[in-house]
Structure 1
Amino acid sequence: MKKAPTNPNRLPLIKLIHVARRELRMDDDTYRLMLAGMKGLDGATSTADLSVPNLHRVLEQLKLRGFTVRPSKAQQRPMAADGQSRKIRSMWLTLHDLGAVRDPSEEALAKFVLNMTGVAALQWLKGSQASRVIENLKQWQQRIELAPATAKEGV
């Protein structure tokens, strides 16, 4: 069978199809049988023989079998850049430097904010919610910074 024309969109699709195949634990024979049985692929049994539209069809078939596409890190939403969000992030990293926070990642911060406010991302916080998070982080930081001094004084 003739190779499909080169297209910059082909390689990412082929990689995604192979990820799906691995996650579905589909062996080579089962995968090739699935391809051979799909209408419109003209009996192709390899992604190398498929055009971009047909690669999309294969991916859709794999989704029907239970594969879910997870967004890559590059596709995740951008970080909040407003003043309050930057302050929250800065305080979070300071608490990490003080040893109070184990995971300094944006994901860990988002979980902390979610537990406190019920809002899953800094971008979605209202001003009053962001202020509450900042005040909570300030109090946490004060407790951490005062803890060694009070221990030395015997209190």
Structure 2
Amino acid sequence: MFGSKLKLIHIAKRALRMTDEDYRALLQRVAGVKSSSDLTPVGFDAVMAEFNRLGFVSTKTKRKPKGAGGTAPNHPTPAQWRLIEERAKHVGYAGLEDPRFIAWVKPRGKVEHPRFLDNAGAQRVIAALGNWIERNTEHHNKGEI
């Protein structure tokens, strides 16, 4: 089992203030194992369901959009990240981590990687992608006349 899942089990155990004896009894009763490292994916789900039944609520926050550099005032907003990714995919890139997109962003955003974009750089990239989409749309419309 993955380390992150083991950590979550131990976080739940600590949050519920379980003794080691009670914790081991729960593992045996719910998943038929003596140690969390012996859990299968099904056993993990069963143990987590039991922790939830006992009152454990995970406080794990949702992840930031891929490439997000932080929450400082000068960093792009989640909406800007979504727009950049949406437009990048529209013009044919696989997403924010596409090596071709990273290379394309360098001169426009004036950064080595999109994750280092500041607000002004994000606006330049959004505008450049918008112009690219507009040119492609105009080009296709001219061909249909």
TM-score normalised according to structure 2 size: 0.42
Q: Which has the higher contact order (CA 8 A, sep 6+)?
A: 1
Q: Which has the larger radius of gyration?
A: 1
TM-score normalised according to structure 1 size: 0.40
